[in-house]
């Protein structure tokens, strides 16, 4: 289904403190959780709000997994003055991959399970509220991460890369259950992982090397829309805040929970913390260790990640400091 909203032709224009877009493209995943019911109405209502504000919008559904990036790339080449990603962090990641090194800005209309990026920049979880505020947002050029994983194509990410325990959960989550119940699917997958001995991952950055069973290289403080783990992370910086937690048996993670939920995990004496622009991950021989980026399965180790500076223009609320 292609939804077109016409107003006038031309490029975006600024009116006082607002920007009106004349060729906005809204990309959404029609197979996403809840879209058959309430969420499809939210998509339509968001488009009406954009039209009321004076924006010209073409809404394009993705035909299948992994296609949003190419759609974004093509629409930017055709003259779109903004690309809007309506959905969860996975959809946003796909769309962003099509806009790396493009001057066309990315605007997010959160509508997923966790909405980490929306919470991080202060947009929140409301798709329709975000649509109504689009004209207020300002462009911010940011760095992104780039993942090289075994037997996978290189992949950019906006928020985080995780290896070990959390990546195993992401890799084994039931897609049907996720579509139906959201975060509950991750708790179910986590419960299954809880009884598996976790492999040790070697993490290397320059002269620094450590081992962990859960490693997170983050550009954002928010984790899973629930807690702030990497409190020193920032989208405004050209680097990762890295956290390494080590416990072969997942029951051992319990001792880290008070620090995690109080935002003090980086100060825990048993947690490794560093700040860097490049990391390498290796798992033990004969073991399969997974990696995730922005909450989506992204392959297995060995893998490396690096910062790509000045890579993407992201629309953020005026007060966002990173």
Instruction: Compute the average pLDDT of residues 69-94.
Output: 96
pLDDT in tens, 102-124: 999 999 999 887 889 999 999 98
| Intra-chain end-to-end CA distance of the chain, in Å | 36
| Mean pLDDT of the 220-238 span | 92
Mean pLDDT over 3-20 rounds to 51
Confidence category of residue 1, pLDDT binned at 50, 70, 90 = very low
* pLDDT at residue 234, rounded to an integer: 96
Q: Using the CB atoms, write b or e for 245-260: b if 16+ within 10 Å.
A: bbbeebeebeebeebb
For the beta carbon of residue 71, count every other beta carbon within 10 angstroms: 19
Q: Which of 28-42, 44-58, 172-186, 243-257 has the lowest mean pLDDT?
A: 172-186
Q: Give the bridge partners for 85, in sequence order.
A: 27, 108
Question: How confident is the model over 203-216, as pLDDT tens digits?
Answer: 999 999 999 999 99
Fill in the DSSP letter of residue 35.
Answer: I
Q: What is the pLDDT of residue 319?
A: 86
Give CA–CA dist 230/93, Å, rounded: 20
Closest CA to 27 of 119, 91, 103, 116: 91
What is the per-residue pLDDT for 196? 79
The whole-number pLDDT of residue 2 equals 37
The mean of the pLDDT values for the chain is 87
pLDDT (mean) for 178-207: 73
Grouping H, G, I as helix, E, B as strand and the rest as coil, residue 196 is coil
pLDDT 10s digits, 264-300 = 999 999 999 999 999 999 999 989 999 999 989 999 9
Indicate if the alpha-carbon torsion angle 109, 129, 235, 182 is positive or negative: negative
Structural contact between residues 84 and 26, judged by C-beta atoms closer than 8 angstroms? yes
Q: How many residues does the chain have?
A: 322
DSSP letter (8 states) at residue 38: I
Question: Is the confidence at residue 235, as pLDDT, over 60?
Answer: yes
Helix (H, G, I), strand (E, B) or coil at 298: strand
Angle between helices 89-97 and 68-77 (to 10 degrees): 50
Q: What are phi and psi of 87, to 5 degrees?
A: 155, -155
Choice between 321 and 24, residue whose per-residue pLDDT is larger: 24
Q: Which residue is it, tokens 């609320």?
A: 317
Model confidence at 22: pLDDT above 50: yes
State residue 193's pLDDT score. Answer: 67
More confident residue, 282 or 9: 282
Q: What is the pLDDT of residue 16?
A: 47
Q: What is the predicted pLDDT for the residue at 151?
A: 86
| pLDDT, position 236 | 93
CA triplet 97, 100, 104: central angle to 5 degrees?
A: 110
């Amino acid at each position: 289904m292609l939804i077109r909203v016409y107003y006038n032709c031309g490029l975006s224009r600024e009116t006082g403190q607002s920007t009106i877009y004349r060729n906005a493209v809204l990309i959404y995943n029609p197979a996403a959780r809840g879209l058959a019911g309430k969420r499809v109405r939210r998509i339509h209502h968001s488009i009406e709000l954009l039209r009321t504000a004076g924006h010209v919008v073409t809404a394009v559904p993705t035909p299948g997994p992994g296609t949003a990036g190419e759609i974004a790339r093509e629409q930017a080449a055709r003259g779109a003055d903004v690309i809007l990603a309506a959905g969860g962090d996975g959809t946003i990641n796909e769309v962003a991959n099509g806009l790396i090194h493009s001057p066309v800005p990315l605007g997010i209309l959160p509508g997923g399970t966790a909405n980490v990026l929306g919470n991080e920049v202060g947009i929140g979880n409301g798709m329709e509220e975000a649509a109504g505020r689009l004209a207020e947002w300002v462009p911010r050029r940011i760095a992104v991460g780039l993942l090289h994983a075994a037997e996978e194509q290189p992949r950019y990410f906006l928020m985080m890369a995780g290896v070990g325990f959390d990546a195993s959960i992401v890799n084994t989550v039931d897609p049907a259950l996720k579509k139906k119940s959201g975060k509950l699917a991750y708790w179910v997958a986590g419960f299954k992982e809880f009884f598996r001995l976790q492999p040790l991952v070697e993490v290397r950055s320059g002269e620094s090397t450590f081992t962990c069973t859960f490693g997170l290289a983050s550009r954002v403080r928010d984790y899973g829309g629930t807690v702030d783990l990497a409190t020193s992370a920032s989208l405004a910086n050209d680097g990762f805040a890295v956290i390494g937690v080590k416990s072969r048996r997942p029951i051992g993670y319990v001792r880290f929970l008070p620090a995690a939920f109080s935002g003090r995990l980086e100060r825990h004496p048993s947690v490794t913390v560093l700040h860097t622009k490049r990391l390498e991950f290796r798992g033990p021989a004969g073991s399969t260790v997974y990696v995730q980026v922005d909450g989506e399965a992204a392959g297995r180790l060995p893998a490396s990640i690096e910062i790509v500076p000045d890579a993407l223009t992201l629309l953020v609320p005026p007060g966002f400091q990173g």
